[in-house]
Structure 1
Amino acid sequence: MTGDDARLIDRFLEMMAAERGASVNTILAYRRDLEQASEALGGRLAEADDAARATLDHHWRTLAASTLARKSSALRGFFAFLKDEGLADQASKASAMLARPKVQRPLPRILSHEDIARMFALAEERAAAPEARSSDIRLLALIELLYGSGLRASELVSLPRSAALAGRPLLAITGKGGKQRLIPISTRAREALQRWLAVPASNPRWLFPSRTGHISRIRLYQLIKEFAASAGIDPTRVSPHVLRHAFATHLLEGGADLRTLQTFLGHADIATTQIYTHVDSRRLVELVNRRHPLAQMNLADRRRQS
């Protein structure tokens, strides 16, 4: 990558962070995408033209649609930035690099109520045992927050220790793009957290500390996979995000409305939340059959006929 590409990518990402509040994960992903594009074009990304688009199409033709969509977004944003700043002659021509692929959002993997019950039974048994280790108590608190409050993995691992103090009924969460929201925390989750807070902390700043800061998302992923296997559940079916999906699915089954669920999950667009409606179709059909005015009229007709 040439010095010009590196400098312009740095300036673009600085703008993304400062003006648009892009998250650290987004910045890292965009940097990787742009640096890979620059490398594929011989360090001449800022000078890209129609031929460069064909080159990138060839390099990335085997990528998944979701990955290609992100790369396309990074490139469009980069060239729009160059155009706005007057930094590259070809920016207007190259802004359409990589056509937007049509991404079909996959249906979320879900766990049954029986799977969840099995996991919590084992977690509570281990945490309550006389020989319980601090890792057992921590794991119970982690899964309580993943399933009980629907936190993202990145939100959970980066919680400050102060977030769980004083038995507050709400947690202040900093989500994607630095956006903050309040989410309820259940009584049992508060109890699990109080038990965890009683364990001496290696780092008073973080709720779930590690030797170098707080535990990583990768480590959380490993812990959940290992625990699922211990509970007799196929670990390929379980991850922190699957527990978040289970939270959303089961809350919707219990009668929560989509707007409330959107707030809890921190979705900017309710269309993202609507993906969960597919898992609750039976309850929705039953709701229409029981509560719709036409259903009530049919019920009255049947009573008159009898």
Structure 2
Amino acid sequence: MLRVHGKGDKVVLTPLPPAVGRAIDRAKGDRSSGPILRSRAETRMSGHVATRRLKRLAATAGIEIARMHPHMLRHTFVTTMLDAGVDLRDVQIAARHADPRTTMRYDRARKNLDRHPNYILAAFMASGT
């Protein structure tokens, strides 16, 4: 579990997959408190430092995107869950969005007719259950 301090000084405990937990353990070393991601000066990583680091990592991986920024990772997190069929409410909770409309803005597949409630209902009725 990871304790996350979010907007409005809200604290939430977030479960982590084992691989993510191991990566965080490596990043924090022997420390038991404070920011996980730090700058070279050992201070909390700013948005600018995070952007530069992300751009360097992307370049190393051969990824070329014109406007690379850390929020793209959050966008990918939310859209991938929605694409995987995770319930909107569960995605909203995971993204810590107060309003489901915020989460819905990430849903690039909302125009996919297969996911439209009418199609889901028709499939359910056709299955005879």
Same fold (TM over 0.5): yes
Root-mean-square deviation over aligned CA pairs = 2.8
Tell me the distance in 2 between the aligned counterparts of 1:270 and 1:231.
34
Partner residue of 1:222 out of 52, 55, 71: 52
Structure 1 pair 205/176, CA: closer, same or farther in 2 (3 Å)?
A: closer
How many residue pairs end up in the alignment? 127
SS at 1:276 equivalent: coil
Q: Does the CA-based 8 Å contact 1:249-1:276 persist in structure 2? A: yes
Unaligned residue ranges in structure 2 (runs of 5+): none
SS at 2:105 equivalent: helix
Higher relative CO (CA 8 A, sep ≥ 6), structure 1 or 2? 1
Which residue matches 1:189? 20
Matches within 5 A, 1:11-50: none
Q: Does the CA-based 8 Å contact 2:89-2:100 persist in structure 1? A: yes
Q: Does the CA-based 8 Å contact 1:229-1:235 persist in structure 2? A: no
Q: Which has the larger radius of gyration?
A: 1
Q: Does the CA-based 8 Å contact 2:88-2:103 persist in structure 1? A: yes
Which residue matches 1:258? 88
Q: In the alignment, does 2:123 pair up with 1:295?
A: yes
Which residue matches 1:267? 97
Tell me the distance in 2 between the aligned counterparts of 1:239 and 1:215.
14
Structure 1 pair 215/290, CA: closer, same or farther in 2 (3 Å)?
A: same
Q: Does the CA-based 8 Å contact 2:27-2:37 persist in structure 1? A: no
Deviation at residue 214 of structure 1 after TM alignment: 1.6
**TM-score (norm. length: structure 1):** 0.36
Deviation at residue 181 of structure 1 after TM alignment: 2.5
Q: C-alpha deviations, 1:245-282, integer Å up to 9, x for none?
A: 00000111112112221111121222111112233543
**TM-score (norm. length: structure 2):** 0.77
SS at 1:236 equivalent: coil
SS at 2:13 equivalent: strand
Unaligned residue ranges in structure 1 (runs of 5+): 1-169, 301-306
Q: Does the CA-based 8 Å contact 2:114-2:120 persist in structure 1? A: no
Tell me the distance in 2 between the aligned counterparts of 1:222 and 1:277.
27
Deviation at residue 194 of structure 1 after TM alignment: 2.1
